[in-house]
Structure 1
Amino acid sequence: MSVLSDFLDPHVGRHLIVDEGEVVVDEVHKHPLAYGGWVAGLVLCIGLVAAAPLAGSGWWLLLAVGLLAALVCLYRIQLAHMDRFVITNMRVFRVSGIFSQRLATMPIQRILDIAVHKPLVGRVFGYGHFVFESAAQDQGLRDIRWVGRPDERDLTIQRVIQRSGVRRAMAVSGDDVPVGPPEPAPRRAHAPAPVPAPRPVGDHRGASTRDERGGG
């Protein structure tokens, strides 16, 4: 793998934990509209450079401006190309950057919720944005923008979560128990009244003697 190829492709395979059986389920490129404006700008810059010789004495200035603007457009296009969101059977991670690369990763079991936002233009052209709610709120993975086929990608993540058994484990541990009014405490059974002990025989004799004396 040459050094030049590192600036042309993120090579997500190098970040996989192969010895643990990690495989890529889906590699998400940015939707073409994410850099469509820069492509249009690049076409205009090429036209500007081509027309520079017709500008008379100031042709070199027009040429310099056109080339500089074309380089900026190329950089922005490549920056969007290098930004990848990857779903594996163990985690999700994002690789971004051309000259300095950034890697943000999050295990599947830390994903709490996924919000899918599809603006009107996104619904027409088939893209959306993901907002992840995780246990650590990883900034590099909280907002994933310009995701093509967002509903399909959302279902892919949900399937990976289900297959990993995370939600079943959460249900067993009680994390997914629905919140509701507390159950009333069970009533305590009253203790039975104590049974009086039988009187000794002598007490009956004394009582009868007193009755006889009182009567006499």
Structure 2
Amino acid sequence: MARLFRVAFDPRVETHLIADEGEIIVDEVRRHWMAIVPAILQLVLAAVIMVSALWVNVAYAWFPVLVGLVVAAVGGHRILREHMDRFVITNMRVFRVHGIFAQQTATMPMSRILDITVNKPFIGRIFNYGHFVFESAAQDQGLRLIRFVGRPDERDLTIQRVIQRSGLRTSMVPVEADDDD
């Protein structure tokens, strides 16, 4: 059963690689666990609603059970949606794969990344997550905001290293001052 779940609900990011050009995954980023906290609270609410059926007239007990099941289904869908959302850093580009039944893929080559803003809200600083905002020369892009990235500072450095190693940005060599005094 676990294998069936893994096969059915895995975004399969490897299928999006340009393997014949030597593209390799540097980092595959899953959503931080804080992204599913609202959905977990929704599941708790569904359980409370269904348990409330114990104190309702037997003829009407089906209603809170039905409402609880709908709330639980929506919460489960939200958890699955977050599980299927992946942000991938390769040696050539960054891309995001998301969607449960229909998948969407947004790609940005490393050469197009002009700026990365790492936004860490207060609670994100506590639990070590943040949000990436990518700026590129294109105005409208499919890959602009990546939310709930765990260890955002490390991942930002990973992207900067890949850009640097690819030769897209040059290094400055410090000029030594003359000691003619």
CA gap 1:137/1:152 in 2 versus in 1, 3 angstroms: farther
2:68 match: 66
Paired residues of 1:129 and 1:150 also in contact (CA < 8 A): yes
1:13 match: 14
* Distance in 2 of aligned mates of 1:140 and 1:3: 31
Aligned length: 169
* Distance in 1 of aligned mates of 2:5 and 2:128: 33
CA gap 1:7/1:42 in 2 versus in 1, 3 angstroms: same
**Alignment RMSD (CA, Å):** 2.1
2:175 match: none
1:133-153 CA distances to partner (integer Å, 9 max, x unpaired)?
Answer: 112245321111111111000
State whether structure 2 residue 99 is matched by structure 1 residue 125.
no
CA gap 1:61/1:145 in 2 versus in 1, 3 angstroms: same
Paired residues of 1:7 and 1:98 also in contact (CA < 8 A): no
Which consecutive unaligned segments of at least 5 residues does structure 1 have? 172-216
Which residue identity lines up with residue 52 of structure 1 in the other structure?
A
Paired residues of 1:7 and 1:99 also in contact (CA < 8 A): no
1:109 match: 111
Give the share of equivalent positions with the same residue, in percent: 59
In the superposition, the TM-score normalised over structure 2's length comes to 0.86
Paired residues of 1:128 and 1:149 also in contact (CA < 8 A): yes
* Distance in 2 of aligned mates of 1:100 and 1:140: 16
Relative CO higher for 1 or 2, CA cutoff 8 Å, sep ≥ 6? 2
Q: Which runs of 4+ in 1 moved over 3 A?
A: 2-7
**Shift in Å, 1:53:** 4.2
1 or 2, which has the higher helix percentage? 1
Which consecutive unaligned segments of at least 5 residues does structure 2 have? 173-181
Higher-Rg member (1/2)? 1
**Shift in Å, 1:154:** 0.3
In the superposition, the TM-score normalised over structure 1's length comes to 0.72
